[in-house]
Amino acid sequence: MTESVMTSTQTEKRNPWNAIAIALLFVAIYFGLIVTVADQYMNADLSFGLPLAVRTLTAVLGGLLGAVIFLLGDRLEGSTSTITLLLVVAVVFLIIGTYFGLYVAPPEQFMGEVQRIMYVHVPTAWNALLAMTFAFACAIFFLFNGDWKWDALMEGSIEVGVVLAFLLCCQGAIWAKPTWGVWWDWDPRLTTTAVLLFAFLGILALRKFVDDPVRRGVWSSVATIIAYVDVPIVYFSVRWWNSLHQLQSNPNTVSKPFWIPLRANAFGILLLMTAFILLRARVASLRLKNELAPPPALLESELGEVV
Amino acid sequence: MGANLIEAENLARRYGRRWALADVSFKVRSGSVVMVAGRNGSGKSTLFRLLSTAIRPDRGKATIGGFELVREREDIRRTTALLSHYSYLYESLTARENLSVAADHLGKPRSVVMPLLERVTLAQRADDPVSTFSAGMRKRVSFARVLLQEPTLALLDEPYGQLDPEGFLLVDEVVRELKAKGTTVMLATHQLERGANLADDVIILEAGRVQWTGKASDVLTRERPGKAGGTAW
Amino acid sequence: MLIAALRKEMLLQWRTRAQLMAVFVFGAAALLLFSFAVGPVAEMLRQFSAGFLWLGLLLSSTLTLAESYHAEMENHALEGLLLLPANPRALYYGKAIANWIQLTILGMALVPVMVILYDAGTTRIVALFFVVALGAAGLSAPGTLYAAMTAQVRSRQTLLPLLLFPLIVPALLASVKATSLIVLGDPMGQLKSWISLLVAFDAIYWSLCGLLFDRVVEE
């Protein structure tokens, strides 16, 4: 970690927000996953008497808040130990989720082995929506606040969201072919994802074509807001449109044996996504620093060129 | 002439990686005529666009007539008019129509348009589309547009550009009239002698910074400032 | 201020009306090409007529929307207006309304082409006009905003459709469905719900884009 030499003051002090985020994530993982594992495999009740609904809510909120605090609390520079930690833990969870999903969980009643793709598909869907929502929030904050960290975070979360949306479409196609015989089944959720994917790809293209950082930030924030507001409208219109034909829905995995791989993967992808958004935001932040550098001092300037 | 109409501090503006204005500070007295001179690329146009609020500064601040440059943009625009390199004209509309559009947006009656076109000696071409106009004629229409706004501060970027000798005289007349009405005028020009004759004060820009400020009379008499051995503008 | 903006837009549109004619020919040609995709099967063409009409109109809109800023950008006239000062919101609505009118005219002009090529006639002209108008409004609001952005960057031709097309999917779906119901018949009375969707989409985007426009045109 030689970069810590350059950014000494920031890395010496432990960022307190990271500790809070870790604590929140731990709570989320505890109530979301560990309690279920203990219940199923050790017949132990670690739930502190909290009912299922409360535990699920804690898990969801804890996960969300933890991820968001990681994203906002990180100074977008300094040591990469936070990110490395996130990546390692994420991979661990994904391994657990994959193992449970492929080998331990029983095959589903009607669909058989094909259903196992849900263990990746559903968590990817949750996280893709999360990434886009975070991008939307960053866009709003950037327009009101003007702080560049929002632009960097927005760029990171749009890119990661696009990747997740693309994966979602692929997973949907992989599931649809053996099940319905076609690659695409016009399921409203999947179709909305495809539209979302194109919309945000367009925003990334917009960012590429605009050189001025202020304009780029403002315009892509505007476009992100407009695109995100459209998502529910697209969903409802496609659902309406599709309901006139045979409605083919994706299955829901609700019974207990399916929970463990689902949640393990959910946390895994959440942490992975957070780590990638942070990394990407750091890259964006560095570029912005370069673009926004102040004018050179009088002696070094030569016809106003940045030395 | 007394209070300062414009007070600018450390204005800076970049285009890509190049700082068109690096650090510009100055004051302009209300009712005065200021000539802004400098080589091509020294930042004159950028400065005028900044003062007119067409673009924002990346650094620094300024007040015009007591209004802050970025936060009170609307108020500055109400009292400032810019004669720009861009003609701000619609090619498919006639001269009269172009000015009428501006008059409509300003809330002024359309009857003010013809007298202005007469002032810039374009009355006989008033109903020809601007696409048929020469560069000098477009400049005149743009000039009329500035006069239409009845500004407190007139920012004239290269007013003599593309004009014929009669046009030069017209510009001189108009600037004198504006001054007589109490309008503050800033002129960016390469026509040093003409400008200095009209102006009270001069600001010389070089590479996005103020190189020299002083009285117009000094410019005509002192040695040309600039790099050693360099000729000018 | 809005009246001033509208007057200018109408004047500009009138002056450049030859352009609209050219775009109409483009749209009609597109409708012709679509039929080649299906083949000369009368019943299938009739089934898809609404879809073809709206796709044709959508493609034509990328031309007219981009063109609506051509005059503003040539000599930076838009900046000139903003500096007068003109209210950016008024400028947006002026242009959005003008584009709306233009797209509605274009849409209605393409209807006879649809009727002839696909044997997709109807007596419910008034209802059809409403649907075309509402759908055109759905294209015009975000289109005017995005065209303002893309007019100021390079590669503007690719960027405008790239940004606009995913966004207007709901309006496209609703317009196609509604038009289809008018042309092919509406036994279950679904037309109203599709029109409501269009109205909702229009209401949301006409307000949202108006709010955001000044951030797009100001430097």
Highest mean pLDDT, choosing among B5-19, B216-230, C89-103: C89-103
Q: Is the pLDDT of residue A2 over 70?
A: no
**Residue A293: predicted pLDDT:** 80
Subunits adjacent to chain B (3 or more Cβ pairs under 8 Å): A, C
Say which range, A32-46, A242-256, B95-109, has the weakest mean pLDDT.
Answer: A242-256
**Residue A10: predicted pLDDT:** 45
For residue range C161-197, list pLDDT tens digits in order.
999 999 999 999 999 999 999 998 888 888 999 999 9
Complex confidence, ipTM:
0.91
Confidence of residue B223 (pLDDT cuts 50, 70, 90): low
CA–CA gap between residue A3 and residue A11 (Å, rounded):
10
CA distance C59 to chain B (A): 25
For chain C, the residues whose C-beta falls within 8 A of a C-beta of chain B are: 1, 3-5, 7-8, 11-12, 15-16, 71, 74-77, 79-86, 219
Mean pLDDT of B151-180: 92
For residue range C19-72, list pLDDT tens digits in order.
999 999 999 999 999 999 888 888 888 999 999 999 999 999 999 999 999 999
The verdict on A303 touching B (C-beta cutoff 8 Å) is yes
Q: Tell me if A218 and C215 make a contact (CB, 8 A cut-off).
A: yes
φ/ψ (deg, to 5) at A51 = -70, 165
Q: Is the pLDDT of residue A12 over 70?
A: no
Give the mutation candidate from B45, B56, B72, B88 for the C interface (greatest C CB count, under 10 A). Answer: B88
Share of chain B above pLDDT 90, in %: 74
The residue extents of the domains of chain C are 2-218
Mean pLDDT of C147-167: 89
For residue range A131-179, list pLDDT tens digits in order.
999 999 999 999 998 899 999 999 999 999 999 999 999 999 998 888 8
All residues of chain A having their beta carbon less than 8 Å from the beta carbon of residue B18 are: 304-306
Q: Which residue of B has its CA nearest to C86?
A: B105
**Residue B49: predicted pLDDT:** 95
pTM of the model: 0.88
Mean pLDDT of A56-61: 86
Q: Which residue of B has its CA nearest to C219?
A: B55
All residues of chain A having their beta carbon less than 8 Å from the beta carbon of residue C209 are: 226
For residue range A78-111, list pLDDT tens digits in order.
667 888 888 998 999 999 888 888 887 777 777 7
Say which range, A152-156, A202-206, A286-290, B201-205, has the weakest mean pLDDT.
Answer: A286-290
Helix (H, G, I), strand (E, B), or coil: what is residue A94?
helix
Q: What is the DSSP string of chain C?
A: -HHHHHHHHHHHHHHTHHHHHHHHHHHHHHHHHHHHHH-S-HHHHHHHHHHHHHHHHHHHHHHHHHHTTHHHHHS-HHHHHHTS---HHHHHHHHHHHHHHHHHHHHHHHHHHHHHHH----S-HHHHHHHHHHHHHHHHHHHHHHHHHHTTSSSHHHHHHHHHHHHTHHHHHHHHHHHHHHHH--TT--HHHHHHHHHHHHHHHHHHHHHHHHHHH--
Residue of B17, B56, B58 with shortest CB distance to A306: B17
Sheet with B4-15: list strands edge to edge.
B67-68, B59-64, B4-15, B18-29, B209-215, B201-206, B33-38, B184-188, B153-157, B80-83
